[in-house]
A and B are shown apart, each in its own frame.
Chain A
Amino acid sequence: MKGIEINGISKTFKDTKALTDVNLQLEEGKIYGLLGRNGAGKSTLLNIINNRIFQNEGTVTLDNEPVKENEQVLSRFFLVNENNLYPEGMKVKEAFFWGKEFYPDFDMEYADKLCKVFELPKKKKIKNLSTGYQSIFKNIMALSVNVPYVFLDEPVLGLDAYHRELFYRLLIEKYAQNPFTVVISTHLIEEVTNIVEHVIIIKNGQIIKNESRDDILNDGYCVSGPAMMVNAYISGRETIGEDTIGGLKTVYLLGKPDDVLPDGLEISSMDLQKLFIQLTGV
């Protein structure tokens, strides 16, 4: 099977079970959204896939080759997360230099162009950059390495709205020209809803949703109206959440709505963020 296969991955830190029996497939050339609340296990999973930490159980393979400690495979991955693993004293342009040395397809011209676009000073030491600019630097690296599997753990941490928008546009442009696999782990669900093709939701170390974005959005809807009418409608149906204000009630349901709703009730689609909140809430 082409792509990354994650089988039965479990990871325990001291007495906390961070991941339990995670099974996933990451195909080539698709953009994935990895969503989960704080502490759900997203970063742990990305770290395991990228050989940064070791799983207690399970395997990760790429095209049936094990990933662990295998640089043939690892040379085709690139992970950026909040950790800065570049040495004290290394400047941005030195990092680019080594990027080119380690990744033969690294596009130096593109990296330079992005530095100008983001106004990132290349002569500055990475550790001296602000949080936002450290994110920008890492994102430029991720966009310039040209490897088939790129993992972005909270790529827009600390970025202002202008830079966030710029980053998304650049990512889409790069992807449109030459599709590669991107896994974006983020809290800003609304911003990535339209960018991702496939959504994976993690809750308490387990995958609770693993579907295409279109399927997930088709599979939920909201019904709102006077509380009594809504209650009558939902009897016998399973809801995943509800909001009440005064006499008005909104319920969130999975599945497809009936073609005709009783008068007085309004139906609306459930966006990914709403679905996420309802599914991952306590």
Chain B
Amino acid sequence: MKQELDQEKPIFIQIAETIEDGILTGAFHEEEQIPSITEFSVTYKINPATALKGINLLVDEQILFKKRGVGMFVSKGAVQKLKDKRQSHFYDSYICKLIEEAKRLGITSDDIIAMIERGFVQ
């Protein structure tokens, strides 16, 4: 889970991703409560409205749900939903950049495949 925020992506997206990471790594369990908006904003030193925006992103995607008067909870099945989402974005998020850099350095697709296979073995 990220401890620091950078200036590259909008903060609310980074907050959403931090929560997603937490869910995927098991830090937040399904049907359990996540830290409050106050806790998020104080920990990351951000405006609570921004934290709320990030959380609402996940509520819209049904990763989180709100219990009135209590707080935010991880939805049932959130882990699978996130895996599916990230898998479909995997190509755009990682592969494209990898290929861009490889082309810059003159690495062929065969080289890349060999490297990947090596990586999985280790």
Report if A and B associate in a common complex. Answer: yes
B28 sits at the interface (CB 8 A): no
Q: Is B11 among interface residues, defined by CB-CB distance under 8 A?
A: yes
When each residue 44-81 of chain B gets 1 if its CB lies under 8 Å from chain A and 0 otherwise, what string results?
11111110000000000000000000000000000000
CA distance A177 to B8 in the complex (A): 29
A228 at the interface (CB under 8 A from B): no
The listed residue (A168, A213, A218, A268) touching B45 by CB distance below 8 A is: A168
Taking CB atoms and an 8 Å cut-off, the chain B residues in 17-60 that contact chain A are 37-38, 41-42, 44-50
The residue among A169, A176, A179, A194 with the most chain B CB atoms within 10 A of its own CB is A176
**Is there a chain B Cβ closer than 8 Å to A81's Cβ?**
no
**Cβ–Cβ contact B38 & A194, under 8 A:** no
Question: Which residues of chain B are within 8 angstroms of A214 by Cβ–Cβ distance?
Answer: 10
Q: Could you tell me if B42 and A31 are in contact, using CB atoms closer than 8 angstroms?
A: no
Contact B7 A172 (CB under 8 A): no
Interface of B is mostly: helix
A55 to B41 Cα, complex, angstroms: 37
Given contacts A173-B38, A269-B7, contact A165 B49 (CB under 8 A): no
Contact A194 B48 (CB under 8 A): no
Chain B residues within an 8 Å CB radius of A112: none
Whether the Cβ atoms of B47 and A172 lie closer than 8 Å is yes
Partner of B44, one of A175, A194, A217, A271: A194
- Within 8 Å by CB of B46, from A194, A217, A268, lies A194
Which listed residue (A169, A177, A194, A269) contacts B47, Cβ 8 A? A194
Question: Which B residue sits closest to A195, measured CB to CB?
Answer: B47
**Closest Cβ neighbor of B5 among chain A residues:** A194
Contact A194 B42 (CB under 8 A): no
Bound Cα distance A20, B58 (Å): 45
Q: A194 contacts B50, CB within 8 Å?
A: yes
The listed residue (A172, A193, A268) touching B48 by CB distance below 8 A is: A172
Q: How many A-B residue pairs have CB under 8 A?
A: 47
Interface SS, A side: helix
Are the CB atoms of A31 and B47 closer together than 8 Å?
A: yes
Q: Are A177 and B44 CB-contacts (below 8 A) given A194-B11, A269-B8?
A: no
Whole-angstrom distance between the Cβ of A57 and the nearest chain B Cβ: 33
Taking the closest CB of chain A, its distance from the CB of B48, in whole angstroms, is 4
Q: Is the CB of A194 within 8 A of B10?
A: no
Interface string of A149-181 (1 = CB under 8 A from B): 000000000000000010011001101110100
- Cβ-closest 7 pairs across A and B: A176-B38, A176-B48, A194-B46, A271-B7, A172-B41, A173-B42, A169-B42
Task: List 16 contacting pairs A-B, 8 Å CB cutoff, sorted by A.
Answer: A169-B42, A172-B47, A172-B48, A173-B38, A175-B47, A175-B48, A176-B42, A194-B11, A194-B44, A194-B45, A194-B47, A195-B46, A218-B10, A268-B8, A269-B7, A271-B7
Known: A177-B38, A193-B7, A194-B45. 17 other contacts (CB 8 A): A31-B47, A169-B42, A169-B45, A172-B38, A172-B42, A172-B45, A172-B46, A173-B41, A176-B42, A176-B48, A194-B11, A195-B45, A195-B46, A195-B47, A197-B47, A217-B10, A269-B8
